[in-house]
Amino acid sequence: MDDGLSPIPNAIRPLWQTLLADAITRPADLLSALGIDPAHPALAAELLRAFPIRVPRGFAARMARGDVDDPLFRQVWPSPREADEVPGYTTDAVGDLAKLKDGGLIHKYQGRALAIATGACAVNCRYCFRRHFPYGDALASRNHWRATLASLDADPSIEEVILSGGDPLALSDDKLAEFAAALAERPWIKRLRLHTRLPVVLPERVDERLLGWLSASRLQKVVVLHINHANEIDEAVIEACTRLRAAGVTLLNQAVLLHQVNDSTDAQARLSERCFAAGVLPYYLFVLDRVAGAAHFDVSELTAQTIMRELAARLPGYLVPRLVREIAGEPAKTQLPW
Ligand SMILES: *Cc1c(COP(=O)(O)O)cnc(C)c1O
Ligand code: SF4
């Protein structure tokens, strides 16, 4: 299928696709771009092949030079600790594979279904469950979206369609606009939601073509961004968010609580404040899915609860995200008490 990454002549290729294709994909290139010692320990190359490094250059530019503790660098750097085998950390931590129907549709929660639009992402986040997701199988069909629509037609209780992935905004706007139009023809469908990191890691993605089909759609639009640290939000991201809002999109953020990235009250408070400055409300703060290779990002629930209590004492209620865990078989994300 056309995943938005296929070769298109430069003349008609949108800028964002050129930038996407130009992302850093070799550890040595990231280290040299950041002026970090080339001997900085990395995951063995043969293990890295299964889930390679991928970082848009503009995102790398938001990392501090020479700082291996930078919170953005840590999210994308393939640490040798990914090879650790840790009990309880598995390859399908959220139980999605059992729920995947034809057409890549995952219908776990009432009234809304999640469609795996593509396996592609603009950035490879080392803590992500996607590192083990066999997208090839889920997306193999040439008639992928036709099957998705057929599943939706079979169940009119689904009023909200969530495009996830991978990153749905890695798809071309032609593809997305066509799908959004097909959804809009189905009167029981009210909302289109996109779960995406692209406007953050590559804000050029929010161009006229994207804004065009979004603002033209009768559907209510929700974009749930994924931002883990305040430093991810620069002026270009704020501008991209402003344009999305002007196109009638409600903007929310989901973050993952990550060791040595954002596991402090200060980091969370700055993230919420910075999101709000961009017109984005905090939605979920996930505790880590127990994904094989990501155990070194884990934060204890006790620490999470302490952060939440301190955050709630410091910020207005609308800037405090819900602390949640995804538990297979539950009818919703599970809110953790604090
Ligand atoms: C997280 C998720 C949703 C959305 O849940 P909300 O609580 O509405 O944000 C929907 N479907 C699946 C399969 C999910 O994993
Ligand atoms: S799905 Fe989201 S969290 Fe996972 S690698 Fe892609 S952008 Fe990162």
Ligand 2 centroid distance, CA of 226 (Å): 8
* d(CA 39, ligand 1 centre) in Å: 41
CA angle centred on 29, ends 25 and 34, rounded to 5°: 120
What are the Cα distances from residue 332, in Å, to 22, 56, 206, 305, 325? 38, 33, 30, 20, 10
Parse the chain into domains and list their residue ranges. Answer: 15-83, 97-335
- pLDDT range class, residue 7, cuts 50, 70, 90: low
Handedness of CA 193, 130, 152, 198 (dihedral sign): positive
Instruction: Name the residue with tokens 């840790």.
Output: 86
What is the model's pLDDT at position 103? Answer: 67
Indicate whether 172 pLDDT > 90.
yes
Give the number of the atom of ligand 2 that is nearest the alpha carbon of residue 166. 1
Question: Which tokens go with 306?
Answer: 């302490």
Nearest CA to ligand 2 atom 4: 128
Q: How many whole angstroms separate alpha carbon 321 and alpha carbon 123? A: 24
- Pocket around ligand 2 at a 6 A CB cut-off: 121, 123-125, 128, 130, 165-167, 197, 226
Which ligand has an atom closest to residue 123 CA?
2
- Long-range contact list for 313-321, CB < 8 A, 24+ apart? 314/265, 314/269, 315/269, 315/272, 315/273, 318/281, 319/272, 319/273, 319/275, 319/276, 319/281, 319/282, 320/272, 320/282, 321/253, 321/254, 321/255, 321/272, 321/282, 321/283, 321/284, 321/285
What is the SS3 assignment for 144? helix
Strand partners, 116: 164
- Cβ of 333 closer than 6 Å to ligand 1, yes or no, is yes
- Ligand 1 lined by 255 (C-beta under 6 Å): no
Helices (H), 22-172: 27-34, 45-48, 57-60, 71-76, 135-138, 144-153
Average pLDDT for 172-187? 96
Query: From the CA of 307, how far away is ligand 2's center (Å)?
Result: 24
| Res. 105 pLDDT band, cuts 50 70 90 | confident
**Residue 98: which pLDDT band, with cuts at 50, 70 and 90?**
low
Judge whether residue 55 has pLDDT over 90.
Answer: yes
The pLDDT score that the predictor gives to residue 47 is 94
Q: What pLDDT band is residue 1 in, cutting at 50, 70 and 90?
A: very low
Name the percent of the chain lying above pLDDT 90: 83
**Cα–ligand 1 centroid distance for 110 (angstroms):** 9
Residue 320 has a pLDDT of: 98
pLDDT digits (tens, 9 = 90+) for 195-204: 999 999 999 9
**Are 169 and 214 a contacting pair, CB within 8 Å?**
no
For the cut 90, the answer to whether the pLDDT of residue 145 exceeds it is no
Task: Look at domain 97-335 and name its CATH class.
Answer: alpha beta
β-bridge partners, 105? 115
Peptide bond into 166 cis (omega under 30): yes
114 lines ligand 1 (CB under 6 A): yes
pLDDT tops 50 at residue 183? yes
Instruction: Tell me how far the alpha carbon of residue 42 lies from the centroid of ligand 1, in angstroms.
Output: 33
For a mutational test of ligand 1's pocket, the pick from 162, 191, 283, i.e. the residue with the most ligand atoms closer than 8 A to its C-beta, is: 162
Half-sphere exposure of 8 (CA within 13 A, CB side): 16
Express each pLDDT in 283-329 by its tens digit. 999 999 999 999 999 999 999 999 999 999 999 999 999 999 988 88
For residues 218-242, give the mean pLDDT.
98
Placement of tokens 């066509």 in the chain: 178
- Of 133, 197, 284, 288, the residue with max ligand 2 atoms within 8 A of its CB, to mutate for a pocket test, comes to 197
Number of H helices, E strands in the chain: 13, 9
pLDDT of res. 97 = 60
Nearest ligand 2 atom to alpha carbon 197? 7
Decide if 218 contacts 247 (C-beta within 8 A): no
Residue 131 pLDDT: 82
Ligand at minimal distance from the CA of 226 is 2
